[in-house]
A and B are shown apart, each in its own frame.
Chain A
Amino acid sequence: MTPPDRAAPARARIQLPRRTLRTDRWWLAPLFTTLGLAAFVVYATLRVFQQDHYWVQEHHYLTPFYSPCLAAQCAPDAALFGRLPVEFPPLVPYALLSLPFLLLFRVTCYYYRKAYYRSVWQAPTACAVREPHRSYTGETRPLMLPQNGHRYFFYVAFAITAVNTWDMLVPFFHGTDGGFGVGLGNVIMVVNVLMLWGYTLSCHSCRHIMGGRLRSFGRHPVRYRLWTGISRLNDRHMYFGWASIATLIATDAYVALMAGGVISDLRFFN
C-alpha cells in the first residue's frame, strides 16, 4: 500500500479519533472493580441500617459491622464499651463511632483511590485509554485535600482492628456448655481479623510512619527493619483490600444467618 501523502512535518501530537488502539480486554478490570465495590457498598449499607441480626448470644458472635455496639438497643453483652443512654433512631448505625472512620480509611487508601479513580471516575479507565473528562486537576483542589489525612484514618482503623480482635477472642470462651469452645464461626472470625490486620498494617501510611519518612535507614536500623516488614505486606495491599472485603461480608453473613435462626453453628469442640 502507498503511504499517505506527506505534509511538512508539524511539531504536534498525532491525532487519532479512536479512544484507544489497545486490542486487549482493557475494560474487564474496571468492570469487575466497579461491580465488586458496588456489591460491597450495597451489602454493607443494607446490613448497617438493618439494626438487627448482629449478635449471637449463645457463642457471643458479634458482626464487625456492629462493633463496637453503642446504642441503647444493643444486647448488653455485645456492647464492649457499654451503651449510650439513648436509643438510636432507624437508619443510624449502632457502630456510629467506628464505621465512618473505617469508610474514610478505605476511601482515602492509596489502593482504593487507584481502583475507584479508574473504574468509577474513569480517570483513566485503563492505561493508554483516553479519559472522558475535558479537564483534569487530580488531587489539587480543596475538595480532595482530605486524601492527605489517610494517616489519621489509619490510626483510628488500627484501634478498631484491635477491637475486632477482642471480638474475635471472646467467642472462644463461650462454648456450647460454657468455657472454651471452637466452631466454624470462630474460624471465620479469625480469618477475618487476620485479613483486617493484613490490610491495616500493609497501608502505605503505616509504611511511611514505620520508617519510610526517614532520609537515612542506616542511622535507624530498627525502623528500617519495621519498614522492610511493612513493605513486604505493602506489596500485597490490594489483595488484603479485596480479601478483607470478602471476609467482612462472610463473617457478617454467617453471624446474620445464625442470629436469624437460619443456620446453627458448626461446632468442632464444645
Chain B
Amino acid sequence: MSERVFRVWRGGADGGLAEYRVEVNEGEVVLDALHRLQATRAPDLAVRWNCKAGKCGSCSMEVNGMPRLSCMTRMSVFDEDETVTVTPLRTFPVIRDLVCDVSFNYDKAREIPSFTPDPATSPGDFRMAQVDVERSQEFRKCIECFLCNSVCHVIRDHEENQPHFSGPRFLMRVAELEMHPEDTADRRLIAQDEFGLGYCNITKCCTEVCPEGIHITDNALIPMKERVADRKYDPLVWLGSKIGVRPRDTPIAPNIRPPADG
C-alpha cells in the first residue's frame, strides 16, 4: 500500500483541479483510487462507472492527458512519486467533476441511415459467409466509450466542426453498413458530405486509444475513403459503371439529419 497524489477536476466547466492524497494498493486501477477518494475525502465526487471490466464504456475520462477507461488503467503504470491528473473528457461539455454530457454522440448516431436490405427479401432469406460476418464483427466490438471521438482533434481542438463531423465512432458505423453484403444503400456520398469523412486526416489517434483494439483507421476509415474515391473522384470507376464493366451504383442513402431550424 502506498499514498499517491491525485489532481482531480472538481466542478463544472469553470471548475479546477483539486489535489488529494489517496491510498493505493497493489493491483488497483485509477477507478479504484477514485472510489477510495469518494469514500474517504470527497463523498460528492461525481464519477460515471458501471462494469469495472472495460466492457460498458462508462468510466471514460482523461488520465494524465490521455483519454482512457479509468477501470482499465492500472496504477502500476505510473511512477510511485508521479502525480496522476484526472479530468473529464475534454471534447464534451462537463456536467460535474468527471462526468460529461456525451449526447453529441447519440445525436450523431441517429443521423446514420439504418440497415437497408433489399425490400424483396425477408429476414430469413439472408445467408452470410463467415468471412463477411467477421469483417463487421470487428466494428461491433465497439463499447461506445467515445474515447475515439474525444481524442479526435477535428472536434477536440475545433468545436466549430462538431455539426458537420460525426467522429471516428460513427464513420466506423457507416463503414460497417457499407461493407454489409445484404445492405443496398449507398452511403459513400453522405459519408463524405454529411458525416465529414473528408475532415479525417488519418492520424490514427482513434485507433491508439480504442480499448477494444479495433483498427478504426485501417479497417474502417481508410477503406471508406477509398470507397468515396471510387464514387466521387475516380473517372475509371465511373466509366466502368457506365459501360457495364462494374455494377451500377445502388441508390444513395438519404440525409436524415433534422433541419437546423428544428
Chain A interface (Cβ < 8 Å from any Cβ of B): 1-16, 20-24, 110, 113-114, 117-118, 123-124, 127-131, 133, 135-140, 144-145, 148-151, 204-205, 207-208, 212-213, 215-219, 224, 234-235
B170 part of interface (Cβ distance < 8 Å): no
Interface code B82-99, partner A: CB below 8 Å = 1, 0 otherwise?
100101101111111000
Shortest beta-carbon distance from A135 to chain B in Å: 7
Given A145-B233, A208-B226: 16 more A-B contacts, CB < 8 Å: A3-B11, A3-B18, A4-B16, A7-B12, A11-B94, A13-B93, A15-B13, A21-B85, A124-B205, A130-B157, A148-B234, A149-B233, A204-B218, A213-B223, A218-B181, A234-B218
- Supposing A110-B222, A127-B209, A204-B218 touch, asked if A217 and B131 sit within 8 A by C-beta, the answer is yes
B19 contacts chain A at the CB level, 8 A cutoff: yes
Identity of the chain A residue whose Cβ is nearest the Cβ of B14 in the assembled complex: A7
A216 contacts which chain B residues (CB < 8 A)?
A: 129, 132, 181
Q: Across the two chains, which residue of chain A brings its CB closest to B226? A: A208
A-B contact count (CB 8 A): 187
| Residues B18 and A151 in contact, CB atoms below 8 Å apart | no
Question: For B10, B64, B66, B228, which residue has the most chain A Cβ atoms within 10 angstroms?
Answer: B66
Q: Which listed residue (B42, B62, B201, B234) contacts A3, Cβ 8 A?
A: B42
Contacts of B12 in A (CB 8 A): 6-10, 12
Chain A residues with Cβ under 8 A from B234's Cβ? 148, 151
Q: How many residues of B contact A (CB 8 A)?
A: 72
18 A-B pairs within 8 Å (CB atoms) are namely: A5-B11, A6-B15, A9-B11, A11-B13, A14-B15, A14-B94, A21-B65, A127-B205, A135-B160, A136-B157, A136-B158, A137-B199, A138-B200, A208-B223, A215-B183, A218-B129, A218-B181, A224-B131
Determine whether the beta carbon of A217 is less than 8 Å from that of B222: no
- Residue numbers in B under 8 Å from A3 (CB-CB): 10-11, 18, 42
Nearest CB of A to B151, in Å: 5
- Chain B residues closer than 8 Å to A14, beta-carbon distance: 9, 13, 15, 87-88, 90, 94
Query: For the complex, what is the distance from the CA of A4 to the CA of B19, rounded to whole Å?
Result: 10
Residue of B nearest to A135 (CB): B158
A215/B179 in contact, CB under 8 A: yes
**Closest partner residue, chain A, to B229 (CB atom):** A148
How far is B134's CA from A224's CA once the two chains are assembled, in angstroms?
13
> What residues on B are CB-neighbors of A6 within 8 Å?
10-12, 15
B residues in contact with A139, CB < 8 Å: 198-201
Q: Is the interface of B mostly helix, strand, loop or mixed?
A: mixed
Most buried by B among A20, A138, A205: A138
List CB contacts (< 8 Å) of B1-53 with chain A: 9-16, 18-20, 42
User: Known contacts being A10-B14, A13-B91, A14-B13, is A20 close to B65, with CB within 8 Å?
Assistant: yes
Please name the 6 residue pairs, one residue from A and one from B, whose CB atoms are nearest each other, closest first: A218-B129, A21-B65, A216-B181, A22-B65, A127-B205, A138-B199
User: With A138-B200, A204-B222 as given contacts, are A123 and B181 in contact (CB-CB < 8 Å)?
Assistant: no
Q: Is B249 an interface residue (CB 8 A)?
A: no
Query: Is B90 touching A212 in the complex (CB atoms < 8 A)?
Result: no
Measured between C-beta atoms, what is the minimum distance from B197 to chain A in Å? Answer: 9
